[in-house]
Protein backbone atom coordinates (compact mmCIF):
# COMPACT_ATOMS: atom_id res chain seq x y z
CA UNK A 1 0.00 0.00 0.00
CA UNK A 2 2.96 2.33 -0.45
CA UNK A 3 1.38 3.68 -3.64
CA UNK A 4 -1.82 4.94 -2.01
CA UNK A 5 -3.15 8.24 -3.40
CA UNK A 6 -2.76 10.26 -0.20
CA UNK A 7 -2.65 13.55 -2.08
CA UNK A 8 -6.20 13.37 -3.50
CA UNK A 9 -7.92 14.34 -0.24
CA UNK A 10 -5.24 16.21 1.63
CA UNK A 11 -3.60 13.15 3.19
CA UNK A 12 -6.80 11.31 4.08
CA UNK A 13 -8.40 8.23 2.56
CA UNK A 14 -12.01 7.15 3.16
CA UNK A 15 -12.11 3.79 4.93
CA UNK A 16 -15.28 1.72 4.63
CA UNK A 17 -15.56 -0.74 7.51
CA UNK A 18 -17.33 -4.01 6.81
CA UNK A 19 -18.08 -6.83 9.25
CA UNK A 20 -15.77 -9.71 8.31
CA UNK A 21 -18.39 -12.33 9.16
CA UNK A 22 -21.69 -10.82 8.02
CA UNK A 23 -20.32 -8.43 5.35
CA UNK A 24 -22.61 -5.72 6.74
CA UNK A 25 -21.24 -2.21 6.20
CA UNK A 26 -20.59 -0.85 9.70
CA UNK A 27 -19.24 2.66 9.25
CA UNK A 28 -17.17 5.09 7.23
CA UNK A 29 -14.08 6.74 8.67
CA UNK A 30 -10.93 8.40 7.35
CA UNK A 31 -7.34 7.31 7.68
CA UNK A 32 -4.11 9.19 7.28
CA UNK A 33 -0.75 7.42 7.08
CA UNK A 34 -0.39 7.32 10.87
CA UNK A 35 -3.88 5.85 11.36
CA UNK A 36 -3.14 3.17 8.79
CA UNK A 37 0.17 2.33 10.48
CA UNK A 38 -1.49 2.20 13.91
CA UNK A 39 -4.24 -0.06 12.57
CA UNK A 40 -1.70 -2.46 11.12
CA UNK A 41 0.52 -2.42 14.20
CA UNK A 42 -2.22 -2.91 16.82
CA UNK A 43 -4.74 -4.87 14.68
CA UNK A 44 -7.34 -2.49 16.13
CA UNK A 45 -8.96 -0.11 13.64
CA UNK A 46 -7.76 3.47 14.09
CA UNK A 47 -8.89 6.53 12.15
CA UNK A 48 -7.96 10.16 11.85
CA UNK A 49 -10.77 12.12 13.48
CA UNK A 50 -11.47 15.24 11.47
CA UNK A 51 -13.50 16.78 14.31
CA UNK A 52 -10.88 16.04 17.02
CA UNK A 53 -7.95 16.60 14.64
CA UNK A 54 -6.11 13.55 16.02
CA UNK A 55 -5.82 9.78 15.74
CA UNK A 56 -8.87 8.05 17.12
CA UNK A 57 -9.14 4.33 17.82
CA UNK A 58 -12.72 3.15 17.45
CA UNK A 59 -13.91 2.13 20.90
CA UNK A 60 -11.21 3.96 22.83
CA UNK A 61 -13.82 5.23 25.32
CA UNK A 62 -16.69 2.72 24.86
CA UNK A 63 -14.57 -0.43 24.55
CA UNK A 64 -16.45 -1.33 21.36
CA UNK A 65 -13.35 -1.80 19.25
CA UNK A 66 -13.05 -3.07 15.71
CA UNK A 67 -10.53 -5.92 15.42
CA UNK A 68 -8.79 -5.85 12.05
CA UNK A 69 -9.13 -8.92 9.84
CA UNK A 70 -8.09 -7.60 6.44
CA UNK A 71 -7.35 -4.27 4.78
CA UNK A 72 -7.43 -3.66 1.02
CA UNK A 73 -7.32 -0.68 -1.29
CA UNK A 74 -9.67 0.06 -4.16
CA UNK A 75 -8.67 0.07 -7.84
CA UNK A 76 -7.71 3.77 -7.79
CA UNK A 77 -5.74 3.46 -4.53
CA UNK A 78 -7.77 6.31 -3.03
CA UNK A 79 -10.12 4.38 -0.69
CA UNK A 80 -9.74 1.52 1.78
CA UNK A 81 -11.93 -1.43 2.64
CA UNK A 82 -11.48 -2.59 6.22
CA UNK A 83 -12.80 -6.02 7.17
CA UNK A 84 -13.15 -6.17 10.94
CA UNK A 85 -14.83 -8.02 13.77
CA UNK A 86 -16.73 -5.61 16.00
CA UNK A 87 -16.60 -6.07 19.74
CA UNK A 88 -19.93 -4.49 20.59
CA UNK A 89 -22.06 -1.96 18.72
CA UNK A 90 -20.22 0.08 16.09
CA UNK A 91 -22.42 3.17 16.10
CA UNK A 92 -22.48 5.70 18.95
CA UNK A 93 -26.29 5.20 18.97
CA UNK A 94 -25.70 1.64 20.19
CA UNK A 95 -26.59 -0.01 16.88
CA UNK A 96 -24.64 -2.63 14.96
CA UNK A 97 -24.10 -0.28 12.02
CA UNK A 98 -24.03 3.47 11.47
CA UNK A 99 -26.12 2.82 8.34
CA UNK A 100 -28.94 0.72 9.79
CA UNK A 101 -30.34 -0.29 13.14
CA UNK A 102 -30.82 -3.97 12.34
CA UNK A 103 -28.57 -6.94 11.81
CA UNK A 104 -27.08 -7.90 8.47
CA UNK A 105 -29.76 -8.71 5.90
CA UNK A 106 -29.93 -11.80 3.71
CA UNK A 107 -27.23 -14.43 3.96
CA UNK A 108 -25.18 -12.06 6.12
CA UNK A 109 -27.45 -13.05 9.00
CA UNK A 110 -25.81 -16.50 8.93
CA UNK A 111 -22.54 -14.84 9.91
CA UNK A 112 -24.29 -13.17 12.83
CA UNK A 113 -25.83 -16.48 13.89
CA UNK A 114 -22.46 -18.23 13.65
CA UNK A 115 -20.92 -15.51 15.83
CA UNK A 116 -23.74 -15.95 18.36
CA UNK A 117 -23.18 -19.72 18.50
CA UNK A 118 -19.45 -19.08 19.03
CA UNK A 119 -20.24 -16.65 21.86
CA UNK A 120 -22.54 -19.22 23.48
CA UNK A 121 -19.75 -21.78 23.23
CA UNK A 122 -17.44 -19.38 25.11
CA UNK A 123 -19.89 -18.24 27.78
CA UNK A 124 -22.34 -21.16 28.08
CA UNK A 125 -25.24 -19.08 29.44
CA UNK A 126 -27.71 -21.05 31.54
CA UNK A 127 -31.12 -21.76 30.07
CA UNK A 128 -29.93 -21.47 26.46
CA UNK A 129 -30.90 -24.23 24.02
CA UNK A 130 -27.60 -23.64 22.23
CA UNK A 131 -25.70 -24.11 25.50
CA UNK A 132 -27.56 -27.38 26.11
CA UNK A 133 -26.56 -28.68 22.67
CA UNK A 134 -22.97 -27.56 23.10
CA UNK A 135 -22.67 -29.32 26.46
CA UNK A 136 -24.03 -32.62 25.13
CA UNK A 137 -21.79 -35.17 23.36
CA UNK A 138 -20.87 -34.55 19.72
CA UNK A 139 -23.09 -37.47 18.73
CA UNK A 140 -26.18 -35.53 19.88
CA UNK A 141 -25.35 -32.53 17.68
CA UNK A 142 -24.69 -34.86 14.76
CA UNK A 143 -27.99 -36.63 15.41
CA UNK A 144 -29.84 -33.30 15.38
CA UNK A 145 -28.32 -32.42 11.98
CA UNK A 146 -29.44 -35.82 10.67
CA UNK A 147 -32.97 -35.37 12.03
CA UNK A 148 -33.28 -31.86 10.63
CA UNK A 149 -31.87 -33.02 7.29
CA UNK A 150 -34.54 -35.72 7.01
CA UNK A 151 -37.27 -33.27 8.08
CA UNK A 152 -36.05 -30.83 5.42
CA UNK A 153 -36.29 -33.51 2.74
CA UNK A 154 -39.79 -34.50 3.89
CA UNK A 155 -40.90 -30.86 3.86
CA UNK A 156 -39.48 -30.41 0.36
CA UNK A 157 -41.35 -33.44 -0.96
CA UNK A 158 -44.65 -33.31 0.92
CA UNK A 159 -45.22 -29.92 2.58
CA UNK A 160 -45.64 -26.26 1.70
CA UNK A 161 -42.92 -23.63 1.29
CA UNK A 162 -43.33 -22.33 4.85
CA UNK A 163 -42.65 -25.80 6.27
CA UNK A 164 -39.61 -26.22 4.02
CA UNK A 165 -38.24 -22.83 5.05
CA UNK A 166 -38.73 -23.67 8.72
CA UNK A 167 -36.99 -27.02 8.45
CA UNK A 168 -34.14 -25.55 6.39
CA UNK A 169 -33.66 -22.88 9.08
CA UNK A 170 -33.52 -25.60 11.76
CA UNK A 171 -30.98 -27.53 9.68
CA UNK A 172 -28.71 -24.52 9.20
CA UNK A 173 -28.79 -23.66 12.91
CA UNK A 174 -27.98 -27.20 14.02
CA UNK A 175 -25.21 -27.44 11.41
CA UNK A 176 -23.60 -24.30 12.88
CA UNK A 177 -23.74 -25.88 16.35
CA UNK A 178 -22.21 -29.13 15.04
CA UNK A 179 -19.39 -27.22 13.34
CA UNK A 180 -18.70 -25.28 16.55
CA UNK A 181 -18.62 -28.52 18.56
CA UNK A 182 -15.75 -29.55 16.27
CA UNK A 183 -14.02 -26.18 16.73
CA UNK A 184 -15.02 -24.93 13.29
CA UNK A 185 -17.03 -21.96 12.12
CA UNK A 186 -19.02 -20.94 9.09
CA UNK A 187 -15.96 -19.15 7.67
CA UNK A 188 -14.12 -22.46 7.29
CA UNK A 189 -17.00 -23.88 5.24
CA UNK A 190 -17.12 -20.71 3.14
CA UNK A 191 -13.41 -21.04 2.39
CA UNK A 192 -13.95 -24.64 1.29
CA UNK A 193 -16.82 -23.60 -1.01
CA UNK A 194 -14.73 -20.76 -2.45
CA UNK A 195 -11.81 -23.09 -3.14
CA UNK A 196 -14.12 -25.43 -5.05
CA UNK A 197 -15.51 -22.54 -7.07
CA UNK A 198 -12.07 -21.64 -8.41
> Beta strand 25-31 with 13-19: parallel, antiparallel or unpaired?
antiparallel
CB atoms within 10 A of CB 143: 14
The H-assigned helical ranges of the chain are: 33-42, 108-123, 129-135, 138-158, 161-181, 186-197
CATH of 108-197, picked from 3.40.50.12160, 3.40.50.970, 1.10.287.1080, 3.20.20.140, is: 1.10.287.1080
What are φ and ψ of residue 102, in 5° steps?
Answer: -95, 180
Distance of CA 15 to the CA centre of its chain: 17
β-bridge partners, 156: none
The pTM (predicted TM-score) of the whole model is 0.78
- Tens of pLDDT along the chain (198 residues) come to 568 999 888 899 999 999 999 999 999 999 999 999 999 999 999 999 999 999 999 999 899 999 999 999 999 999 999 999 999 999 989 999 999 888 888 888 999 999 999 999 999 999 999 999 999 999 999 999 999 999 999 999 999 999 999 999 999 999 999 999 999 999 999 999 999 987
Distance CA 13, CA 33 (A): 9
Q: Where are the domains of the chain?
A: 6-86, 108-197
Distances (CA, A) of 66 to 20, 41, 60: 10, 14, 10
CATH class of the domain defined by 6-86: alpha beta
Amino acid sequence: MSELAWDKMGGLLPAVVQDADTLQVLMLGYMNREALEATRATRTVTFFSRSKNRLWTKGESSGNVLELVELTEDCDADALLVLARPRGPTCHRGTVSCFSEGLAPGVGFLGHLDRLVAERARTLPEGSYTTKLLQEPLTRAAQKVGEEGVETVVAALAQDDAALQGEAADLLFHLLVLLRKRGLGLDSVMRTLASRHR
